[in-house]
Amino acid sequence: MAGGGGDLVSNKQVIFRDYVTGFPKESDMQLTSGGTIKLKVPEGSNNAILVKNLYLSCDPYMRILMKKGDDLITSYTPGSPVTGLGVGRVLDSRHPYFKEGDLVWGTTGWEEYSLITAPQGFFKIQNTDVPLSYYTGILGMPGLTAYAGFYEICAPKRRICFHFSSIRCSWSACWPIRKVVGLLCCWKCRKSRKVDLLKNKFGFDEAFNYKEEPDLNAALKRYFPDGIDIYFENVGGKMLDAVLLNMRVHGRIAACGMVSQYNLEKPEDVCNLMSIVYKRVSIKGFVVFDYYHLYSKFLEVVLPYIREGKITYVEDIVEGLENASAALVGLFSGQNVGKQVVVVARD
Amino acid sequence: MAGGGGDLVSNKQVIFRDYVTGFPKESDMQLTSGGTIKLKVPEGSNNAILVKNLYLSCDPYMRILMKKGDDLITSYTPGSPVTGLGVGRVLDSRHPYFKEGDLVWGTTGWEEYSLITAPQGFFKIQNTDVPLSYYTGILGMPGLTAYAGFYEICAPKRRICFHFSSIRCSWSACWPIRKVVGLLCCWKCRKSRKVDLLKNKFGFDEAFNYKEEPDLNAALKRYFPDGIDIYFENVGGKMLDAVLLNMRVHGRIAACGMVSQYNLEKPEDVCNLMSIVYKRVSIKGFVVFDYYHLYSKFLEVVLPYIREGKITYVEDIVEGLENASAALVGLFSGQNVGKQVVVVARD
């Protein structure tokens, strides 16, 4: 029930302190007591919902929002809470679709409770027979990104050589992808531990750490002697440059991120772009928000795989908002093994 | 009629001397008397045709074939004639489709007569009410490239801002394209003369010489304050880098060449590739050979425009094989005004 009343409670927050250059540090964020919040949507805030945050997602794109924005990027506001994807419970709603008690996922604040004034990008969680935290990863934005990028953009029609570059291990969890994956390049991973995980637990044919390869072109030639049909681009820079040299004719690249570039002041140079012409390569940039309309269809595909145990999914869960900034910063030095999740509360 | 007999005639040739680095020079080619040739397809050469070359085409891609080849490029053979697209008359044929007297266009030698052992890429010229030389340009490979790139790859569906980069003026001749062109960037053109030609004769809304712009990003922002919907990529390097910054969301790039890179030992660096993600840009490399099946359809579109005088087309014609190498080299310093053609013989 919306409107007046509502308990006044304390609301811890992780505050973004100031624009970041280079690698982010824990001190770029600050845990504060955050004052108090009334657990009701204020009168006049039509369409708003008040959410108790349960699970927060650490994602590489968040680094982009930490630098000073431009006409393309609306960066975090210094002095305000970090925002990111999360799973929560609706405590109060003035939105016709969302009701008190609903479980939801969408972009929320790094705090205990968030007032979401415009929950357009929020989804109601209908299936709760799987862990709720999965909606930060395999059943949330990263999973849908993998699905849209692979099925809508790469659109494989035959057996292919697939090069999957990501630091988001959850992506590898989409079983139909894994079957054609030849290689995963993980970003600054924990040495051989992650490579082993990818090969032995996720079943990739091959895996390597691109940070440890002195010659990426040679590495790709070794792993893909016949070239790469599809490259799922999350790395960029020198990796992309080497990939361009190793694409097959009519190869396709789906690009939704270039994480190796996020902490650089100046992006790395890429010089092998003539390969796009020689090899008739298609590159398509995409952002997952353009594919949110596919979310139901995506769930129909992926939920059965999870229920049947056909998907290997690994989470790296830390407890408490007080550990959130360290978890996020850890992404960029490869500290996490699996999808990095922060538990704010379990119910 | 195929088989024995046939006159023995002299056959002047333009010989490719050795692999080229940097800008090509006239001395990289050499006119020779070329010995003699019998004007008959030799017995046993099934499917071969013997062609008298009439018009030869100078095209930027030929520079690529002048460097030492790799697994992607089969370069010219030092000591053998330069090859390129040309219009010729069939003097003799052992091919079921081509007959003596047929006019054809396809890849031929820079010589008076060529024995084409496998004329798969040859087209019979059926429409001779237009100048034959047009089949080296607007009615040949460059025209089909423009058509395929624009209608098949860029596929405009609404009014758009179009950035057309090319040194091949013939491309601008496709009237339906010109209507949406906002800007043409010509390669090292003859200063204001070509810019004037583009704006006043071809009717481009704007034109600039990218070699004369100190800040390409600023230039594009000036000409495209709302961004670029479609970019027809023929330049590459710094131009592409600036274009990436100025693409609109969901913009498309058709790439069939990067002429600014052909004379460089190391390609220029491009660093704005994250724009592909931010703006959901599609880049598709293509080569015209993949679209040869559209040639009849293309002619149906473009021939009426030519006959009705609705296309502005400019040729730069030089006479004689002895001037061929200078004409080709001239492309790369912007000497030509219009499509560069070499007349070997007029009938």
Ranges of each domain in chain A: 8-137+314-343, 141-289
Q: Which two tokens stand for residue B320?
A: 């004689």
pLDDT along chain A (347 residues), means of 10: 68 97 95 91 95 97 91 90 98 97 98 96 96 96 90 70 48 38 41 73 76 88 86 89 93 90 89 94 94 95 90 91 96 85 95
For residue A172, give the nearest of A160, A182, A164 by alpha carbon: A164
Whole-number Å distance between alpha carbons of B103 and B51 = 9
Strands (E), chain B: 8-10, 13-16, 29-32, 36-38, 49-57, 83-93, 103-109, 113-116, 123-124, 162-165, 181-186, 206-209, 228-233, 247-255, 282-285, 315-319, 339-343
Chain B neighbors of A273, CB-CB under 8 A:
236, 240, 255, 258, 267, 270
Whole-number Å distance between alpha carbons of A308 and A326 = 34
* pLDDT band of B123, cuts 50, 70, 90: very high
Question: E strand or H helix at A16, and its extent?
Answer: strand A13-16
Mean pLDDT of chain B: 86
CA nearest to A234 within chain B: B277
For residue B184, is pLDDT > 70?
Answer: no
* pLDDT band of B72, cuts 50, 70, 90: confident
Tell me the mean pLDDT in the region B89-103. 97
Q: What angle do CA A206, A210, A212 make, to 5 degrees?
A: 105
Whole-number Å distance between alpha carbons of B11 and B320 = 13
Q: What is the pLDDT of residue B309?
A: 87
* Pairing assessment for the beta strands A247-255 and A282-285 based on DSSP bridges: parallel
The closest CB to that of B280, out of A258, A278, A286, belongs to A286
Whole-number Å distance between alpha carbons of B266 and B5 = 51
Q: What is the pLDDT of residue B288?
A: 94
For residue A35, give the nearest of A132, A129, A111, A146 by alpha carbon: A111
Which DSSP symbol is given to A48?
Answer: -
Query: B73 and A278: CB-CB below 8 Å?
Result: yes
Fold assignment, B8-138+314-343: Quinone Oxidoreductase; Chain A, domain 1 (3.90.180)
For residue A329, give the nearest of A19, A75, A28 by alpha carbon: A28
Query: B270 and A269: CB-CB below 8 Å?
Result: yes
For residue A209, give the nearest of A334, A320, A28 by alpha carbon: A334
Answer with the residue of higher pLDDT: A331 or B55.
Answer: B55
The residues, ordered by sequence, that sit 6+ positions from A47 with a Cβ below 8 Å of its Cβ are: A94, A95, A96, A117, A118, A119
Quote the minimal CA–CA distance from A40 to chain B in Å.
36
Q: What is the pLDDT of residue B86?
A: 98
Q: Tell me: the pLDDT tens digits for B200-239?
A: 777 777 777 777 788 999 988 988 888 888 888 888 999 9
Whole-number Å distance between alpha carbons of B233 and B235 = 6
Domain at A141-289: CATH code: 3.40.50.720
* Pairing assessment for the beta strands A247-255 and B123-124 based on DSSP bridges: unpaired
* Neighbour-count burial of B17, counting CB atoms closer than 10 A to its CB (0-12 exposed, 13-18 middle, 19+ buried): middle
Chain B neighbors of A236, CB-CB under 8 A:
273-274
Name the 3-class secondary structure at A282.
strand
| Interface contacts (A, B; CB < 8 Å) | 98
Q: What is the pLDDT of residue A88?
A: 98
Quote the minimal CA–CA distance from A285 to chain B in Å.
4
What is the identity of the amino acid at B107?
Answer: T
For residue B169, give the nearest of B159, B181, B158, B156 by alpha carbon: B181
Quote the minimal CA–CA distance from B270 to chain A in Å.
5
Question: E strand or H helix at A233, and its extent?
Answer: strand A228-233
Q: What is the pLDDT of residue A196?
A: 79
For residue B157, is pLDDT > 80?
Answer: no
- Do residues A110 and A30 make contact, with C-beta atoms less than 8 angstroms apart? no
- Do residues B227 and B247 make contact, with C-beta atoms less than 8 angstroms apart? yes
Which letter, b or e, does each residue of A287-305 get, where b requires 16 or more Cβ atoms within 10 Å of its Cβ? Answer: bbeebeebbeebbeebbeb
Quote the minimal CA–CA distance from A206 to chain B in Å.
25
- Give percent above pLDDT 70 in chain B: 88
Chain A neighbors of B278, CB-CB under 8 A:
72-73, 285, 287
Chain A neighbors of B275, CB-CB under 8 A:
72, 285
Chain A neighbors of B236, CB-CB under 8 A:
273-274
Answer with the residue of higher pLDDT: B73 or A116.
Answer: A116
- Please count the other Cβ atoms lying within 10 Å of the Cβ belonging to residue B30: 14
- Please count the other Cβ atoms lying within 10 Å of the Cβ belonging to residue B112: 20
CATH (one of 3.90.180.10, 3.30.9.10, 3.40.50.1110, 3.10.20.30) for A8-137+314-343: 3.90.180.10
Whole-number Å distance between alpha carbons of B257 and B287 = 9
SS3 percent helix, strand, coil of chain B, rounded to 5, is: 30, 25, 40
Query: B287 and A277: CB-CB below 8 Å?
Result: yes
State the residue for tokens 């044919």. A205
Report the half-sphere exposure of B3 (CA within 13 A, side-chain side). 1
What is the identity of the amino acid at A103?
Answer: L
Interface of A with B (CB under 8 A): 72-73, 236, 240, 255-258, 261, 266-287, 290
Name the 3-class secondary structure at A21.
coil
Q: Which two tokens stand for residue B81?
A: 């004639």
Number of H helices, E strands in chain B: 9, 17
Q: Tell me: the pLDDT tens digits for B275-317?
A: 999 999 999 999 999 999 999 999 999 999 899 988 888 899 9
SS3 percent helix, strand, coil of chain A, rounded to 5, is: 30, 25, 40
Interface of B with A (CB under 8 A): 72-73, 236, 240, 255-258, 261, 266-287, 290
CA nearest to B252 within chain A: A284
Chain B neighbors of A281, CB-CB under 8 A:
283-285
State the residue for tokens 């071969």. B48
Whole-number Å distance between alpha carbons of B97 and B239 = 44
Q: What is the pLDDT of residue B210?
A: 78
- Do residues B82 and B18 make contact, with C-beta atoms less than 8 angstroms apart? no
For residue A331, give the nearest of A132, A144, A189 by alpha carbon: A189
Q: What is the pLDDT of residue B71?
A: 76
